[in-house]
Amino acid sequence: MLMVLCGSVLAAGLSATGISGKAVAAFLSVFVVLAGVNSPLLFPRSIGALEAQRRSVIDGRPVVYWRPGCKYCIRLRIRLGRSASRAHWVNIWQDPAGAAAVRAANNGNETVPTVIVADQPHTNPDPAWVRDRLSSSA
């Protein structure tokens, strides 16, 4: 939302200087796209780390630790397509237990995406590999 607001303010300023409406619209659309890609709405609904771990034990599906704005998380989410909703997603900026799990798996660093499959952490794994894990847990 903040990106759209900033883009709107800048677009209004450009418009006031006499720049064409098409150029202003193109400029604003860039901010709208950036806001959409960086939005948590792009991701399946996050749950807490403890709940994600509990569900993963039951259904065998991966737990994906992520944070908004992470280009590698966005890449993973987009490349997983519809199968992304099958994973258990944990936003480490909203869940301190999730952030702690990521630090434990990455030598104290909050490196995301970190995917946990069968209690084994995988940092920034290939999306095809994650998709295979989602398919095999069906």
Residue 138 has pLDDT above 60, yes or no: no
pLDDT at 134: 92
pLDDT tens by residue, 11-69: 677 667 777 777 667 766 776 666 665 555 566 789 999 999 999 999 999 999 999 98
**Residue 121 in 3-state DSSP?**
strand
Burial of 83 by CB count in 10 Å (0-12 exposed, 13-18 middle, 19+ buried)? middle
Segment 7-16 long-range contacts (CB within 8 Å, at least 24 positions apart): 7/31, 7/32, 7/34, 7/35
32 shares a domain with 85: no
Q: What is the CA radius of gyration of the chain?
A: 18
90 shares a domain with 75: yes
In this structure, the number of other CB atoms found within 10 A of the CB of residue 88 comes to: 22
pLDDT at 1: 61
pLDDT tens by residue, 80-112: 998 999 999 999 999 999 999 999 999 999 999
pLDDT tens by residue, 9-22: 666 776 677 777 77
Q: What is the pTM of this model?
A: 0.73
pLDDT at 17: 76
64 shares a domain with 104: yes
CB of 125 closer than 8 Å to CB of 78: no
The residue segments making up the domain with residue 50 are 44-137
52 shares a domain with 3: no
- The percentage of the chain sitting over the pLDDT mark of 90, rounded to a whole number, equals 63
114 shares a domain with 56: yes
pLDDT at 22: 75
Based on DSSP, count helices (H) and strands (E) in the chain, helices before strands.
Answer: 6, 4
